[in-house]
């Protein structure tokens, strides 16, 4: 069995074990209500994490995702407050805005050959500031808490049966993205661009176009999340999403997509997202202070990364040994 398959099984095993432990510790954990809320939480992080996974496969990083959530939710709330336009007009506009921001990120990264981190950190700052400026204010200039009453918009926070729509969208998007990565040429290009950009270009892959596409998708995912988040909260605040990078990065890393590029997939991210949501839910259900959440998440990131590095080293040595043996054998065959 491959390294990543073993890793995944261990993670699923842990997920189940923690789930069982929690349901013993607190009977209110294993209720449909709690599980659906947990899945809803996971999906909100997960949709962004899907886009972020593609970014990591290209060996990039997108620091602007949180700020994209903030600015797109401000766009929606402005449409809701000041216009009579229906949701099916301004939601696509908000999603297009997410793509456009991704395009700007990708353009600066590819056209001016700038480091991904710097470009997206800069757009993060700009967008976070714009979100505050764009926020709906009261007469004294304070940010106003607008209650959304648009039923079409609020429908995004609803359920189908017991399952939240956002959860369904998350799983459908995960399936489609996974299929895209593994079974289309464009998906293959994403891996090639991350694994070895020079080789990819020599093979005729337009790596710039691939990168721009990936950043646009990341922006799209963040914008999509902002719609579900606002619909769930029935309001939108300019600080929505700011700081959510932590959870997104943690989910993807736990899921087994490394920062080195060329490797990773969406199923790993789905499991990572569920794992993280379970931990966060568990902290609440155990009656612990929610303030320890970021500490626990940070700790998990460190543990996972250390284990991954350690295991990768081990696996590489093993592969090198088997390659050597193979080579020796072929020599002896001569």
Partner 1 sequence: MNDPRNSDVLLECRGIDKNYNGPMVLSGVDFALTRGEIHALVGENGAGKSTLIKIVTGVTNRNAGSISFDGHDIPQEHSKNAAEKLGIAVIYQELSLIHGMSVAQNIYLTKEPLLSGLPIIDINKMNTMAQEMIDRYGFDLKATDVIDNLPIAQRQTVEILKALSNKASLMIMDEPTSSLTSTESAQLFKIIRLLKSEGISVLYISHRMEEVFALSDRVTVLRDGRKVAVLEKEQISPAEIIRLMIGRILTDNESHHQMVKKDGEVVLEVDKLCSEGKLKDVSFSVRRGEVLGFGGLVGSGRTELMRAIYGIDPFDSGTITYLGKPYVPTVEKSIAGGYGFVPEERRLQGIMGGISITGNIGIANLDTISSKAGFVSGAKELERAQKAIALLNVKPARPEVLVGNLSGGNQQKVVVGKWLIRDLKLLIVDEPTVGVDIGAKEEMYQTIERLSQAGVAVIVVSSDLPELTRLSDRIIVLRKGRVIKEFVEGAVSEEDVLRAASGLVEGGAQ
Q: Does 83 bind partner 1 (CB under 8 A)?
A: no
Residue 231: name the closest of 155, 135, 145, 134 by CA.
Answer: 155
Q: Does 181 bind partner 1 (CB under 8 A)?
A: no
Q: How far is the CB of 60 from partner 1 (least distance, A)?
A: 16
Site string for partner 1, 263-282 (x = CB under 8 A): x-------------------
Q: How far is the CB of 230 from partner 1 (least distance, A)?
A: 34
Q: Does 326 bind partner 1 (CB under 8 A)?
A: yes
Q: How far is the CB of 5 from partner 1 (least distance, A)?
A: 13
Q: Which residues contact 215 (CB under 8 A, 6 or more apart)?
A: 55, 60, 62, 102, 103, 105, 106, 109
Q: Does 3 bind partner 1 (CB under 8 A)?
A: no
Q: Does 205 bind partner 1 (CB under 8 A)?
A: yes
Q: Which residues contact 5 (CB under 8 A, 6 or more apart)?
A: none
Residue 184: name the closest of 158, 156, 163, 210 by CA.
Answer: 210
Stretch that binds partner 1, among 114-122, 125-133, 190-198, 242-250 (CB under 8 A): 190-198
Q: Give 146's DSSP letter.
A: P
Q: Which residues contact 227 (CB under 8 A, 6 or more apart)?
A: 72, 73, 76, 91, 94, 95, 153, 156
Site string for partner 1, 235-264 (x = CB under 8 A): ---------------------------xx-
Q: Which tokens belong to 329? A: 């054998």
Strand (E) or helix (H) holding 98: helix 87-111
- C-alpha–C-alpha distance, residues 142 and 184, integer Å: 49
Q: Does 332 bind partner 1 (CB under 8 A)?
A: yes
The nearer residue to partner 1, 45 or 189, going by C-beta atoms, is 189
Q: What is the largest CA-CA distance in the chain?
A: 88
Stretch that binds partner 1, among 98-106, 195-203, 219-227, 275-283 (CB under 8 A): 195-203
Residues that bind partner 1 (CB under 8 A): 179, 182-185, 188-189, 191-192, 195-196, 198-200, 202-205, 262-263, 317, 319, 321-324, 326-328, 330-332, 334
């Amino acid at each position: 069995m491959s390294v990543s398959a073993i890793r995944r099984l261990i993670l699923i095993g842990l997920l189940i074990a923690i789930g069982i432990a929690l349901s013993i510790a607190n009977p209110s954990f294993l209720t449909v209500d709690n599980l659906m809320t947990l899945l809803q939480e996971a999906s909100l992080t997960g949709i962004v994490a899907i886009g972020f996974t593609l970014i990591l496969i290209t060996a990039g990083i997108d620091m602007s995702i949180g700020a994209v959530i903030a600015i797109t939710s401000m766009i929606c709330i402005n449409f809701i407050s000041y216009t009579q336009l229906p949701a099916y007009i301004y939601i696509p506009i908000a999603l297009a805005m997410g793509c456009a921001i991704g395009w700007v990120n990708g353009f600066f990264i590819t056209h001016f050959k700038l480091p991904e981190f710097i470009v997206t950190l800069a757009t993060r700052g700009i967008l976070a500031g714009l979100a505050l400026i764009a926020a709906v204010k009261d007469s004294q200039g304070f940010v106003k808490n607008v209650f959304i009453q648009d039923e079409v918009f609020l429908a995004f926070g609803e359920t189908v049966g017991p399952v939240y729509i956002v959860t369904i969208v998350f799983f459908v998007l995960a399936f489609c993205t996974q299929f895209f990565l593994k079974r289309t040429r464009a998906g293959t290009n994403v891996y090639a661009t991350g694994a070895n950009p020079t080789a990819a270009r020599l093979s005729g892959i337009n790596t710039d176009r691939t990168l721009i596409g990936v950043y646009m998708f990341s922006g799209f995912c963040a914008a999509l999340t902002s719609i579900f988040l606002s619909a769930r909260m029935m309001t939108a605040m300019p600080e929505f999403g700011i700081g959510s990078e932590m959870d997104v990065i943690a989910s993807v890393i736990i899921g087994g997509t490394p920062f080195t590029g060329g490797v990773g997939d969406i199923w790993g991210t789905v499991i990572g997202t569920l794992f993280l949501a379970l931990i966060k839910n568990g902290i609440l259900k155990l009656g612990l202070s929610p303030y320890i959440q970021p500490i626990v998440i940070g700790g998990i990131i460190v543990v996972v990364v250390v284990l991954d590095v350690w295991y990768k080293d081990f696996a590489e040595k093993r592969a090198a040994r088997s390659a050597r043996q193979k080579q020796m054998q072929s020599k002896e065959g001569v």
